[in-house]
């Protein structure tokens, strides 16, 4: 992890991002982050009020960036294209930010007990977008209207599980004589997920 060229605040965020992804909120300690950053613990408090505010900034940054990317990429007049773009954008963001995928997966498994309200607001932007896509598809008689939250969960849980089970899939595939069907590539996962959801939604 190259930290030398980062400002102190960005260094703290980068290291904390990795710690939260590996150990979760409860088992991440500011002392460890300070040591990794080669700074004092009070230096963290100069930038962040406490561990909760540090965690909040990390989640809000990720979810805000993801929501912005989805808004940019899902602006076609075709609902199917928008849904495909939504799944593609979500999947590739998780690949680019695997530590966020791990944090997000932990929050899902823990009923979002440590997810700050501002992060919930950013996450709601993505849910609002998929709701708009589904309503547009329904109005154009392309999709049956389904609960947006359920569709969102199908996308999120599938993609998070893919990102966070890389080692497990490799180990299982090695036991089963490197069966690539059990360790698919992300583009195949996205394509199959998109195909199955659209198939289920089509009128």
Residue 160 exposure: Cα atoms within 13 Å on the Cβ side: 18
Are residues 60 and 42 part of one domain? no
Q: Do 125 and 67 touch, CB atoms closer than 8 A?
A: yes
**pLDDT given for residue 197 in this prediction:** 95
Q: What's the domain count of the chain? A: 2
Give 17's contacts (C-beta < 8 A, 6+ positions apart).
Answer: 58, 99, 100, 103
Are residues 72 and 10 part of one domain? no
Concatenate the DSSP letters of all residues of 1-12 into one string: ---TTS-HHHHH
List the one residue out of 131, 99, 94 whose CA is nearest residue 23.
Answer: 99
Give 194's contacts (C-beta < 8 A, 6+ positions apart).
Answer: 83, 84, 87, 88
Are residues 26 and 109 part of one domain? no
Q: Do 100 and 17 touch, CB atoms closer than 8 A?
A: yes
Concatenate the DSSP letters of all residues of 99-153 into one string: HHHHHHHHHHHTTTTT--HHHHHHHHHHHHHHHHHHHHHHHTTSB----HHHHHH
Cα separation, 103 vs 58, whole angstroms: 10
Are residues 183 and 94 part of one domain? yes
Are residues 140 and 90 part of one domain? yes
Are residues 64 and 8 part of one domain? no
**pLDDT digit string (tens) for the chain, length 203 residues:** 567 788 999 999 999 999 999 999 999 999 999 999 999 999 999 999 999 999 999 999 999 999 999 999 999 999 999 999 999 999 899 889 989 999 999 999 899 999 999 999 999 999 999 999 999 999 999 999 899 999 999 999 999 888 888 888 888 878 877 666 667 788 888 899 999 999 999 97
Return the structure tokens found at 137: 């598809």
Residue 8 exposure: Cα atoms within 13 Å on the Cβ side: 13
Q: Do 13 and 96 touch, CB atoms closer than 8 A?
A: no
- The residue range of the domain holding 152 is 55-201
**pLDDT given for residue 6 in this prediction:** 85
Are residues 2 and 76 part of one domain? no
């Amino acid at each position: 992890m190259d930290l030398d060229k980062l400002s102190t605040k960005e260094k703290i965020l980068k290291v904390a991002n990795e710690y939260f992804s590996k150990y979760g909120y409860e088992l991440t300690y500011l002392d460890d982050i300070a040591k990794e950053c080669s700074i004092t613990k009070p230096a963290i408090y100069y930038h962040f009020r406490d561990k909760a505010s540090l965690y909040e900034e990390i989640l809000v940054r990720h979810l805000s960036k993801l929501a912005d990317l989805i808004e940019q990429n899902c602006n076609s007049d075709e609902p199917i294209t928008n849904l495909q773009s939504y799944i593609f954008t979500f999947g590739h963001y998780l690949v680019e930010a695997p530590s966020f995928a791990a944090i997000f997966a932990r929050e899902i498994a823990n009923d979002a007990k440590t997810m700050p309200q501002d992060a919930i607001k950013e996450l709601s932007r993505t849910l609002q977008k998929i709701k708009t896509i589904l309503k547009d598809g329904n109005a154009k008689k392309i999709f049956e209207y389904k609960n947006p939250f359920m569709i969102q969960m199908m996308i999120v849980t599938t993609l998070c599980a893919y990102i966070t089970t890389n080692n497990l899939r490799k180990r299982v595939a090695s036991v089963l004589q490197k069966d690539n069907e059990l360790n698919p590539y992300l583009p195949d996962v996205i394509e199959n997920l998109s195909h199955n959801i659209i198939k289920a939604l089509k009128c």
